[in-house]
Amino acid sequence: MSSPLNPTALDTLFRKARSYNRWQDKPVSGETLQALYDLLKWGPTSANCSPARFVFLQSEAAKTRLKPLVMGSNAIKVMTAPVVAIVAWDAEFYDKIPQLFPHNPEARDWFAHDADVAHQTAFRNSTLQGAYLMLAARALGLDCGPMSGFDNKAVDAEFFPDSQIKSNFLCAIGYGSTDELFPRSPRLAFDDACQVL
């Protein structure tokens, strides 16, 4: 059994972590992105299906392609962040089940023959993997700025043409700046959000 993380680690991952809108002028290296993926990939998914696919927009040219597809102030976030990840999902993720779930390769059929189950599984688990991305980034000393507020169909056409890959959400990654950082918003109390039965 694992021991609880120390309070400093918990602060880094949760209590003092913030969603950033502005960024320091400090690059995120390709090696760091590799380390980020190599950490997040260990997070659990249903039948180890791992449907998330990540596109890391690091160059100005790549971010410029995304800029007109986002709404309002998200354009500034896209262009100033060192990296913007498109967290996406593979609609045909089940083709990799025999590789990823080798003790039961027939599990592919749980998803391949039911489009609704496949869609729900891919979307849910890619969302989980996007959360693992943010926790892994924080664990590596990076900051995050997750975003909705974009045209999914346009992003899919631009970055995944003629593909079964579909966008889920965006996440800016880098070293956050406290410029224009909003005060910490409240969270629901245990009694407002939880039941113990």
Q: What is the pLDDT of residues 21-55, one digit of tens each?
A: 999 999 999 999 999 999 999 999 999 999 999 99
Indicate the pLDDT class of residue 2, thresholds 50, 70 and 90.
Answer: confident
Separation CA 41–CA 62 (nearest Å): 24
Indicate the pLDDT class of residue 182, thresholds 50, 70 and 90.
Answer: confident
pLDDT > 70 in the chain, percent: 99
Give the residue-averaged pLDDT of 96-101: 96
Burial of 177 by CB count in 10 Å (0-12 exposed, 13-18 middle, 19+ buried)?
A: middle
Give this prediction's pTM.
0.95
Separation CA 69–CA 139 (nearest Å): 30
Separation CA 5–CA 74 (nearest Å): 34
Is pLDDT of 1 > 90?
A: no
Region at 30 (left for phi over 0; alpha for psi -120 to 50; beta for the rest): alpha
Is pLDDT of 195 > 80?
A: yes
Is pLDDT of 164 > 70?
A: yes
What confidence tens digit (pLDDT) does each residue in 52-85 have? 999 999 999 999 999 999 999 999 999 999 999 9
Backbone angles phi, psi at 166, to 5 degrees: -130, 140
Backbone angles phi, psi at 94, to 5 degrees: -65, -20
Give the residue-averaged pLDDT of 99-117: 95
Provide CB contacts within 8 A for 72, sequence distance 6+.
149
Residue 193's pLDDT is what? Answer: 98
Domains and CATH numbers, the chain: 18-175 (3.40.109.10)
Is pLDDT of 167 > 90?
A: yes
